[in-house]
Amino acid sequence: MASLRLLFLRLSLLGLAIALGAPSVYAAEAVYPPGSRIGMVPPAGMVASNNFIGFEDASANAAIILAALPAEAYAELEKSVSADALKRQGVILEKRESMLLPTGKAFVVIGRQEIDKTKVRKWILIGSSSNLTALVTVQIPDSAKDVYSDATVRATLSTLAIRATVPVDEQLSLLPFRVAERAGFEIAGVMPGRAVVLRDAPADARPAPLSHIFVSIAPGGPSQTSARDTFASDLVAAIPNIREMRVTTSESLRILGQPGHQILVQAKEPGSGTDLTIVQWLRFGGGAYLQMVGIARADAWRDAYPRFRAVRDGIEPR
């Protein structure tokens, strides 16, 4: 009987919510913009942006911008976000409220700002979680306030979600090239539109540093073969966190049918003095160049080098 009464109570509450026009976002699943660990259920009319991490309604010039900060940033922002601090950024504070979200405690500040002679309603949500701080900025021009009302924005912010990781394939989709072969390496980091770092999976029994390979693309590069040796030497000399670098070979070669260059280097890891072997490959073409830098301990080089080559030969243009 008690369970039946509980069922009736739940149905009554559901009917009341529908009658009051409760936002439907609560029933939907959070949407994560590509590469973002932060997501939410965007309001009707907004879609994932191609210009920034977040959502936008380009026709209304309305936007929700998402940013991930270190977990420890929450405590600092909780203290430092004030009317005076916002005023220095051109935001006039109207109110500040605490929120309790599924991800953890949060607070939101609501204010007004004029951007390029357009008056906007601005919401800044700062949400905590165990491993990151979510910073969500909502900008709604006065001309769109009937479409994106305060109630709609508040309902949207309440759907804040944080996923543990970004799927590997999604991370790689943010690159202007395909990584067709990872050769047993894991993704250590992606710079959208520019670069990826692959490395051996960390293991307590394995001494540092881990074998890793960095792949990046940049515009330009010398068109003349005679200038590529100097260009390659300058790039390899700029590799960070390396000391006592000594070039052992430097030569032109073709990589997958395109002009390229290879440099092999002996060096040491700062601090520990561990002997390292480094290979840098450059691949030229199409008004840009690929830089691929593999770094391994000297005693792990025999295993690492063929894997570096497999990654190199698996880089394909999109």
Q: Which of 162, 195, 221 is the last residue of a domain?
A: 162
Q: Which domain holds residue 157?
A: 20-162
Q: Each residue of 36-60: pLDDT tens digit?
A: 999 999 999 999 998 899 999 999 9
Mean pLDDT over all residues of the chain?
88
pLDDT band at 210 (very low <50, low <70, confident <90, very high): confident
Check whether residue 73 and residue 147 sit in a common domain: yes
Check whether residue 36 and residue 155 sit in a common domain: yes
Residue 107 lies in a domain: yes
Reply yes or no on whether the pLDDT at 147 is more than 90: yes
Contact yes or no for 37/165 (Cβ under 8 A): yes
> What pLDDT is stored for residue 193 in this prediction?
87
> What pLDDT is stored for residue 201 in this prediction?
81
What's the number of domains the chain is made of?
Answer: 2
Residue 39 lies in a domain: yes
Q: Beta strand 258-268 with 243-255: parallel, antiparallel or unpaired?
A: antiparallel
Q: Each residue of 69-117: pLDDT tens digit?
A: 999 999 999 999 999 999 999 999 999 999 989 899 999 999 999 988 8
Check whether residue 261 and residue 285 sit in a common domain: yes
- As a whole number, mean pLDDT of residues 4-24 equals 37
Check whether residue 74 and residue 143 sit in a common domain: yes
pLDDT band at 271 (very low <50, low <70, confident <90, very high): confident
- As a whole number, mean pLDDT of residues 242-259 equals 94
- As a whole number, mean pLDDT of residues 286-303 equals 94
Q: Which of 127, 162, 197 is the last residue of a domain?
A: 162
Check whether residue 44 and residue 143 sit in a common domain: yes
Q: Which of 162, 194, 218 is the last residue of a domain?
A: 162
> What pLDDT is stored for residue 208 in this prediction?
59
Residue 212 lies in a domain: yes
- Write the DSSP assignment of the chain as a string of letters: -HHHHHHHHHHHHHHHHHHTT--GGGGSPPB--TT-SEEB-PPTT-EE-SSSSEEEETTTTEEEEEEEE-TTHHHHHHHH--HHHHHHTTEEEEEEEEEEETTEEEEEEEEEEEETTEEEEEEEEEEE-SS-EEEEEEEEEGGGTTTS-HHHHHHHHTT-EE-S---HHHHHTTSSEEE---TT-EEEEEETTTEEEEEPPP-TTSPSSPPEEEEEEEE---SSHHHHHHHHHHHHHT-SS-EEEEEEEEEEEEETTEEEEEEEEEEE-TTT--EEEEEEEEEEETTEEEEEEEEEEGGGHHHHHHHHHHHHHTEEE-
Share of the chain above pLDDT 70, in %: 89
Residue 66 lies in a domain: yes
Check whether residue 110 and residue 72 sit in a common domain: yes
Residue 269 lies in a domain: yes
Check whether residue 172 and residue 312 sit in a common domain: yes
Check whether residue 111 and residue 182 sit in a common domain: no
Check whether residue 37 and residue 124 sit in a common domain: yes
- As a whole number, mean pLDDT of residues 11-33 equals 52
Query: Domain with 203 in it: what CATH number?
Result: 3.40.1000.10
